[in-house]
Structure 1
């Protein structure tokens, strides 16, 4: 079996989560400022979970014209913001505070009969935005999923199609718990900047394995299809 990697990660290693959060917040803020200067606005898509909380707190204190920034989610559970599993609630409580309290926010969840209908409603709303995204912050699970590209998703091949034209897709998954809503890979890799934020030795091992052909996981598709190196911000 060949051991040629799909892409050599642009590793940014830090001694602890605090240093990582500060550095990542500085980087994202710089890119948002540049987007605002270039096109008068900026689009930022972030991931949920427990890993980004400290980063969100640091980013929320960055000085920039947040009124010209629209924040959205890479993916979301099919739950309302009143749920403690809502990524939208996480973002509102930890990122859209301090300086960032005046940013615009567009979530993926819509009250609907099912995730497919919610995805259609979210897609219609997203069609009004000025694409592509300026910055995407991805996370990764220990199963190698990113966004809601779960290995057991029946529509995984569609989600990972780099030519897919949809805005938001539904995902039915047992691994992910509730049904999900996600931006497809095509919307992520067209962004001006895609960054992977992971923490812990286990996730680094998972990523190393995912970058070896023949041991592909959903995260592999990001590195295989991105036109430019994907920075990886990592700490033990």
Structure 2
């Protein structure tokens, strides 16, 4: 794990956007394609705004979420709607959005088809993760009903997850997919999350799921 503190949030977002743009650009030059996985929630919004203004070959970039709540895009809880609104605009409007949800009653009804759409874009070029104060990342929640499956070395690409802290049923990239990304960036803000990360470093993944990705992660932190 590499720890990178910043003097303020603006400096963090500017630096992280530059790093991601450089990593995606290198992959595009070498391979002609790249993939970017991002978190939902409110924290990464400024990062999305900055990335949307970067001049890259976005049509050759596959963008996907780390996880998604099983709600329609019309819901204010939809991470997909957030990504469309904040990231897939400007220069990035032409990026390929890889679906993380389908029009089906439950995640289990669509998970195999969704995973088949994700698999060609692995390993991920760039992965940006958040973390909750309970030390969850993506939708790998402590106490989640399929956490053991999602953490296993032979876990499938995508796992349905239900947990007390999750609200709606969710789908999430599994721990091996997350940990297999070429560049892993963990974005955390504030003292409480810094303290949670310190706790996570001495705990096993089933108690602190973020631990599954920490070894090769760069942690970007500002107060």
Q: Identify whether the pair has TM-score above 0.5, normalized to the shorter chain.
A: yes
* Cα distance in 2 for residues equivalent to 1:161 and 1:197: 24
Relative to structure 2, which stretch is displaced further, 168-177 or 71-80? 168-177
* Cα distance in 1 for residues equivalent to 2:204 and 2:136: 16
* Cα distance in 2 for residues equivalent to 1:213 and 1:84: 34
Q: CA RMSD in A?
A: 1.4
- Aligned ranges for residues 176-215 of structure 1 at < 5 Å? 176-213=166-203
Cα shift at 1:62: 1.2
Asked if residue 73 in structure 1 is aligned to residue 60 in structure 2, the reply is no
- Aligned ranges for residues 2-41 of structure 1 at < 5 Å? 9-41=1-33
Does the residue aligned with 2:110 lie in a helix, a strand or coil? helix
Asked if residue 235 in structure 1 is aligned to residue 222 in structure 2, the reply is yes
Structure 2, gaps ≥5 residues long:
none
- Aligned ranges for residues 1-150 of structure 1 at < 5 Å? 9-127=1-119, 129-150=120-141
* Cα distance in 2 for residues equivalent to 1:202 and 1:183: 25
Relative to structure 2, which stretch is displaced further, 130-139 or 40-49? 130-139
Q: 1:151 to 1:63 in 2, by over 3 A?
A: same
Query: TM-score normalised to the size of structure 2?
Result: 0.95
Asked if residue 159 in structure 1 is aligned to residue 150 in structure 2, the reply is yes
Q: 1:156 to 1:29 in 2, by over 3 A?
A: same
Query: TM-score normalised to the size of structure 1?
Result: 0.90
Structure 1, gaps ≥5 residues long:
1-8
What's the counterpart of residue 172 of structure 1? 162
Cα shift at 1:59: 1.1
Does the residue aligned with 2:48 lie in a helix, a strand or coil? helix
Are the counterparts in 1 of residues 179 and 212 from structure 2 also a CA contact under 8 Å? no
* Cα distance in 1 for residues equivalent to 2:45 and 2:54: 15
Q: What whole-Å deviation, never above 9, does each CA across 1:28-60 have from its counterpart, x for those lacking one?
A: 000000111111100111011111011111111
